[in-house]
Structure 1
């Protein structure tokens, strides 16, 4: 052919030099490049190439809103992968008259909700509390890294309905109350740090509640946790659950609505009141519970939601 020309979708740019096709731009996802070859003014051949582009972009936080606003909407399978630089404490959360306010990062992501993002290359600032830092950010596909020094992660990713990959929780984190609540796309729970306890041992209350796609729970529960109320409530695909450690004393709705069937659950804690274990296993097809203390078994049998036909308990030998 006498000439070959390239056209492409904005903001992708396709150029050719020395026989090499180069594709540049800021987009992520599938783009189409049309190659047209001509001779004597007539088109010999037109070919459409498909380019699948996943780029890691480094964007200063100060420019993030403008940068996202200028991008086309994408889908959850092709998120924009971003390393956000220059994050500070006020970007994560703010205080006004003693009340917690939404940080600027959360506000930016929520205002650009049609731009799905992968923040796995971003690290949050090393501050003690990242409470509700990204709550309700439905465009978040992969979470940012959590640095050492963070202690409070309560509600951090609550309502991030498209969050797919678990984040590594560093040792030192003490409170995960509601951290992943209603993360309906999360399939695998992260491992829990040994430092987890929370105020009055409530560090795992509602942590994974409403995670309807969760199939893998943490392999173990830290010994400092005493209250696990609603921890896995509504995890309708969860069939295997961890043992409950010796300090656990309250498990209201802990596995309510899960898919435990023919599985043995071990409870090593002393639970004396039925009100502390109401509906702990309600809605499960069949479950056998082994307990360390006879009092725990008696409390379970007296609790609401205990079905004698589908549930049974025995002492741990």
Structure 2
């Protein structure tokens, strides 16, 4: 007699190759529409499946976990960030949570570096001039941006992505500075040419570009608040490819409008897709629709990590990318 296959529910449309393989391996229910599930749909899915495969658009809180069925034993998140899942409550209820770390490192670092260049060289303004037909030809004083070689880059969060950003920025001649929960080993600092700042305030006040690369946790919510943003040089720019909640977006918008910060490059936003219209109206910002991990290769690799976690769990072993509360 064949063993019963795991019941897996996927909350969003995934690359076809990933969906096909999921169907081959498990008793998989795929999402027909490429829209987020409602809270009621998520709860209904959690009542009937062994494994839920959510994404960053699915908020799973304690009340929803309390309504989960007895068969739900693994939430195999499609993505590295898990701040949308109450991991501690899940573990208390005997539900494991896994993610897909490392897969998006290079792709997200590419976007961070692109935003640094785009904002300092005023690329969005240049694109707008060309697309509206307002450009009237080259002049010596038009569209003057800043040179990034020799500038001080501050990296907030020196994990996989932060280190990948550091490598790219160093290749462009930037001076690497960082603030992290824990200092890197001396040999890693030496390899990256990075200077550690124990005080985030002191680093923020001295850098020309600040790249946000830390996860969203209770301790990092509005880490870049109005007080800390005011420490930045008026000529400095800020780039965020991690989570929008790390920056007080209203305070940032006010300071950008007032010229107290020179520019911003944002791939993530505090309220998801509901972007402040005042922010969208600014010329000194480069805004992207959360494309940090949006490569075909990256999204397929994310799916492969999800399947490895599920298959390992199904074989009776600890998922390799198990998320442990308190170590996020």
> What's the TM-score once normalised by structure 1's chain length?
0.23
Q: Which protein is bigger by CA-based radius of gyration? A: 1
Q: Say which structure is richer in helix.
A: 2
> What's the TM-score once normalised by structure 2's chain length?
0.23
